[in-house]
Amino acid sequence: MSDAPKEIDALIDMMARLPGLGPRSARRAALHLIKKRGMLMKPLAEAMGAVADTARECLNCGNISTADICSICTSEKRRIGEICVVEDVADLWAMERAAVFKGRYHVLGGTLSALDQIGPEQLGIPKLIERVSSEEVTEVILALNATVDGQTTAHYIADQLEHRVRVTSLAQGVPIGGELDYLDDGTITAALRARKQV
Amino acid sequence: MSDAPKEIDALIDMMARLPGLGPRSARRAALHLIKKRGMLMKPLAEAMGAVADTARECLNCGNISTADICSICTSEKRRIGEICVVEDVADLWAMERAAVFKGRYHVLGGTLSALDQIGPEQLGIPKLIERVSSEEVTEVILALNATVDGQTTAHYIADQLEHRVRVTSLAQGVPIGGELDYLDDGTITAALRARKQV
Ligand SMILES: [Zn+2]
Ligand SMILES: [Zn+2]
């Protein structure tokens, strides 16, 4: 509730649902946008509407894309023998910023969790196993967060893929309890280079 | 740079320009929106576009409105004898949440600042003086932030309006260095009730 006109109140309510914004920062952000309504608010609304209409998950890897199959999966420059498994698209972006990995990805969209009733199917792990069989995959690199859930998920995937393919994981450099998306490019590069078999 | 499709990169760049969001939180917020693209992103884009098209400053008081004159200025329930002067629309909203003030407002849009070359004209102070003359105003309540710039501006306005109208300011309860928009309703109510002549 901001005591603004109802259209603006509705906007603030929606903005307050974004991660990192509470009611007060949503009011501040909305006022900032209204002050810059020609230069920022209108273009932002249009960009957001366009992305809402076109963005979707890549049917192959789960990456965010504006096509059914993402540009990484369709690129002829990416090695098809290596699949890097990440929890989240934000982690894929972090890997891409490091610019050291030349293979393709598999985005789980989370980690296994008995508490939240998230099993292998919810994470697309059967699809990963299918990709290992049907594509010419020689190595699966597990780039999961160094959290308990992340490592539980990594062990589960390693077990499933045992004897089918070489399974490695990011090793050196990922701090205990750390999350990939917080790391600098150099740390990610070092961790990938020093990857070890699970 | 997120290594997302270029439409999504453009969206993240714009979101990173909002107060309270940096590049990383903008990426997180964009991914959250894309995950909820039907239920949140699309309605948010539409609400934002609608507000960008309709929001404007009230020609009388500077409040944000979807009409030329805002609903507070046109309300027959508000006392026309009292004008409350605030720095920002966020402060007006904070006053309205306290629900204790029944008059109308004048939004300065900032404070006097020699450094930033902000003079009385940039803040609509001539318009305030004109309103005091042309409307049946009996009291101007200065509800400016308890900062150096806020108090300098309050003294300037009080000097300009001397002998024309009773000028008071919020007194008890506003902490030194504090900003109105951070205060709870009770503190604002107490400060308004204990207002004193400047
Ligand atoms: Zn893909
Ligand atoms: Zn008004």
Expressed as residue numbers, the domain containing A17 is 6-54
Which helix (H) or strand (E) segment is A196 a member of? Answer: strand A196-197
First to last CA, chain A: 52
Higher pLDDT, B166 or A195: B166
Q: Among B3, B33, B89, whose Cβ lies nearest the Cβ of A31?
A: B89
Residues B135 and B39 in one domain: no
Residue A197 backbone phi and psi in degrees, to 5: -70, 140
When pLDDT is cut at 50, 70 and 90, the band that residue A112 belongs to is very high
Q: Which has the minimum average pLDDT: A74-78, A84-88, B144-148?
A: B144-148
Residue B106 backbone phi and psi in degrees, to 5: -140, 120
Secondary structure of B8-43 as H, E, C letters: HHHHHHHHCCCCCCCHHHHHHHHHHHHHCHHHHHHH
Which pLDDT score is estimated for B182? 72
Residue B90, domain member (yes or no): yes
Contact B118, B150 (CB under 8 A): no
User: Distance between CA atoms of A102 and A83, rounded to whole angstroms?
Assistant: 9
Which pLDDT score is estimated for A1? 47
Q: Which has the minimum average pLDDT: A86-90, A188-192, B36-40, B47-51?
A: A188-192
User: Does residue A15 surpass a pLDDT of 90?
Assistant: yes
Which chain B residues contact residue A64 at CB under 8 A? 4-5, 8, 31, 34
Residues A126 and A158 in one domain: yes
Measure A121 CA to ligand 2 centroid, in angstroms. 56
List the structure tokens of B70: 């805002």
Which pLDDT score is estimated for A27? 93
Contact A90, B31 (CB under 8 A): yes
Residue A189, domain member (yes or no): no
Sorted by sequence, the CB contacts under 8 Å of residue A134 that are 6+ apart come out as none
- Closest Cα of chain A to B2: distance in Å? 6
Residue A187, domain member (yes or no): no
Which pLDDT score is estimated for A188? 74
Residue A174, domain member (yes or no): no
When pLDDT is cut at 50, 70 and 90, the band that residue B81 belongs to is very high
- Closest Cα of chain B to A164: distance in Å? 31
Q: Do B41 and A48 touch (CB under 8 A)?
A: yes
Measure A68 CA to ligand 1 centroid, in angstroms. 8
Residue A177, domain member (yes or no): no
Ligand nearest to the CA of B61: 2
Sorted by sequence, the CB contacts under 8 Å of residue B166 that are 6+ apart come out as B138, B139, B140, B197
Residue B194, domain member (yes or no): no
Residues B87 and B141 in one domain: yes
Contact A112, A120 (CB under 8 A): yes
Q: CA nearest B89 in A: which residue? A: A31
User: Distance between CA atoms of A72 and B11, rounded to whole angstroms?
Assistant: 20
Which chain B residues contact residue A66 at CB under 8 A? 5, 7-8
pLDDT digits (tens, 9 = 90+) for B167-189: 998 765 566 566 767 776 766 77
pLDDT digits (tens, 9 = 90+) for B88-115: 999 899 888 888 899 999 999 999 998 8
Contact A58, A152 (CB under 8 A): no
User: Distance between CA atoms of A46 and A54, rounded to whole angstroms?
Assistant: 12
Measure B7 CA to ligand 1 centroid, in angstroms. 17
Which pLDDT score is estimated for A182? 72
Phi-psi region of A22 (alpha: psi -120 to 50; beta: other; left: phi over 0): beta
Which pLDDT score is estimated for A153? 94
Residue B25, domain member (yes or no): yes
Which pLDDT score is estimated for A125? 94
Q: Do A11 and B40 touch (CB under 8 A)?
A: no
pLDDT digits (tens, 9 = 90+) for B48-59: 999 999 999 999
Residues B39 and B75 in one domain: no
B54, exposed or middle or buried, with CB in 10 Å at 0-12, 13-18, 19+?
middle
Residues A77 and A142 in one domain: yes
Question: How far is residue A116 CA from its own chain's centroid?
Answer: 19
- Residue written as tokens 């001397």? B162
